[in-house]
Amino acid sequence: MDLYIVLGLSREASLDEIKRAYRRLARKFHPDINPGDREAAAQFRQIAEAYETLSDPSRRERYDSGGPMTAVFESRATVGFEGFDFSIAVSGAEAPTFGDLFSDVWTERAQRSAGPERGADLHQTVRVPFDLTMHGGQRAVTVTRQVVCHACAGAGVLRGSVRDCPQCQGTGAVRSTRGHMVFSRPCVPCRGSGRLPNPWCPSCAGQQREMRTETLTVQIAPGVGDGARIHVPGLGHAGRDGGEPGDLHLTVDVEPHRLFTRDGDDLHVIVPVAVHEAALGARIEVPTPDQPVRLRVPPGTQSGQRFRLRDRGVPSLRDGRRGDLVVEVRLVLPRVLDERSKELLREFGRLNVEDVRKDLTVPR
């Protein structure tokens, strides 16, 4: 068996390349990752023995020259891993190889015993009336979140004595042996603390948190628009092991208004205008978010013409200054029910013979 082929390398491979190949293959074929797989275990032994030979300059030289090390697979005594603890980083050239070998396998378990854990953030939508976005105010929001357990005050256990964890004998770590190698990893039952509380809190089953539905009051600033985000610190899910709580993130959903539509800080409204008002001019009443105002419609106003009322729009979130109200007039024809009205309209047409469709004439 060619040791270079075992590691997938050429004979010109550097020491760093040998280490990287070993780390990659060891993570794939290690017995702890493949429990009960005899083929994986045998493959791992070959990988380990190949690394032992090729990572040692003198042994590699003898192997390359065809010396006694050629028969490395005939004797398992050449593998010098007895008593090595992969959970402890070593110094020197071997540190990056062994210190990182199984870090991605046990990372999640180690994090559980790393100390306080911050709670997760909570995301929710809050529906807000249009009028509240104009003037601001408070809005009630119902949220369901994890809070600190009331029975155990977040300890996860009832008040009382604790005992050494029987799994790790109070050391906080569990050691296991695979062939000539010794592995150490955080103990799962006690989460690496070495102490096992007894008994678990019956309210939260040792999870330190419980679900609770609450009604919170949040402040809505004037000018908040649809899709805006409101950040409320500390009102997300509670943390574990004394960790701080997460935050509450609210997405604003503004209810549509029956009259006004919003464009930035400006508001738009459509106002119907009668024929005689548009033709002769008039003063009409226009609704605003505050109170109605009078708008002068000049003679000859066309349907779709727009007028701008300053400072009648939405307050700006930046400086509080209000946008404008854009008024679009729409010409509304009256219902002609009597002969007198019909005759007046015919007379109006005879007196005003201008062709209103002259712009549609196709040149010949």
- Per-residue pLDDT of 5-55, as tens digits, reads 888 888 888 998 898 888 888 877 877 667 777 777 888 888 888 898 899
Tokens standing for residue 1 = 């068996």
Whole-number pLDDT of residue 109: 39
Residues carrying CATH 2.60.260.20, the chain: 118-156+205-256, 261-351
pLDDT band at 185; cut points 50, 70, 90: confident
∠ CA 342-344-347, rounded to 5°:
110
Q: Quote the pLDDT of residue 346.
A: 87
* Least confident span in 62-71, 93-102, 209-218, 268-277: 93-102
Distance from C-alpha of 14 to C-alpha of 287, rounded to nearest angstrom: 81
340 in helix, strand or coil? Answer: helix
pLDDT at 200: 72
Q: State the Cα–Cα distance between residues 19 and 33, nearest whole angstrom.
A: 20
Which tens digits make up the pLDDT trace of 296-340? Answer: 999 999 999 999 999 999 999 999 999 999 999 999 988 888 999
Report strand pairing: 122-128 vs 248-254.
Answer: parallel
pLDDT digits (tens, 9 = 90+) for 133-150: 999 999 999 999 999 998
CB under 8 Å to 54, separation ≥6 — which residues?
A: 3, 4, 7, 9, 13, 18, 60, 63
State both tokens at 340. Answer: 């007198």
Q: Looking at residue 221, what is its pLDDT?
A: 94
- Could you tell me where in the chain the CATH 1.10.287.110 domains are found? 3-80
Q: Return the closest-CA partner of residue 100 out of 179, 40, 26, 32.
A: 26
* The pLDDT value given to residue 141: 94
**How far is Cα 192 from Cα 166, in angstroms, rounded to an integer?**
12
Q: pLDDT tens digits, residue range 215-228?
A: 999 999 999 999 99
Residue closest to 133 by CA, chosen among 270, 289, 18, 8: 289
pLDDT at residue 243 greater than cutoff 50: yes
Q: Please tell me the predicted confidence (pLDDT) of residue 169.
A: 85
Q: Of residues 27 and 289, which shows the higher confidence score?
A: 289
- Residues of 129-156 as b/e, b for ≥16 C-beta within 10 angstroms? ebebbbeeeebebebebbebbeebebbb
The CATH class, in words, for 261-351 is mainly beta
Residues paired with residue 124 on neighbouring β-strands, in sequence order: 250
pLDDT > 70 fraction of the chain, expressed in percent and rounded: 81
Q: What CATH class is the domain 118-156+205-256?
A: mainly beta
Reply yes or no: is the peptide bond before residue 363 cis, omega within 30 of 0: no
Look at the alpha carbons of 168, 174, 178, 182 in this order and tell me if their dihedral is positive or negative. negative
pLDDT at 358 > cutoff 60? yes
What are residue 278's phi and psi, to 5 degrees? -70, -35
* Phi-psi category of residue 28: left, alpha or beta, with phi > 0 → left and psi -120 to 50 → alpha: alpha
User: Which listed CATH number (2.60.40.10, 1.10.287.110, 1.10.1040.10, 3.30.70.100) goes with 3-80?
Assistant: 1.10.287.110
User: Given the DSSP bridges, would you call strands 181-186 and 84-85 parallel, antiparallel or unpaired?
Assistant: parallel
Any idea of the CA torsion for 173, 174, 175, 178, to the nearest 10 degrees? -140
Q: Which residue has the tokens 């505050």?
A: 290
**Band of the pLDDT at 356, cuts 50, 70, 90?**
low
pTM of the prediction?
A: 0.54
Give me the mean pLDDT over the 259-263 stretch: 96
pLDDT of the residue at 1: 64
By the 8 A CB rule, do 236 and 122 touch?
A: yes
The token pair that represents 37 in the structure block = 């797989």
pLDDT at position 168, please? 87
Nearest to 7 by CA among 41, 39, 70, 55: 55
Compute the mean pLDDT over every residue in the chain, rounded to the nearest whole number.
Answer: 81
Q: Are 7 and 18 in contact (CB under 8 A)?
A: yes
Whether the predicted pLDDT of 362 surpasses 70: no
> Amino acid identity of 127?
R
> Which range has the top average pLDDT, 46-60, 114-128, 149-163, 305-319?
305-319
pLDDT band at 363, cuts 50/70/90? Answer: low
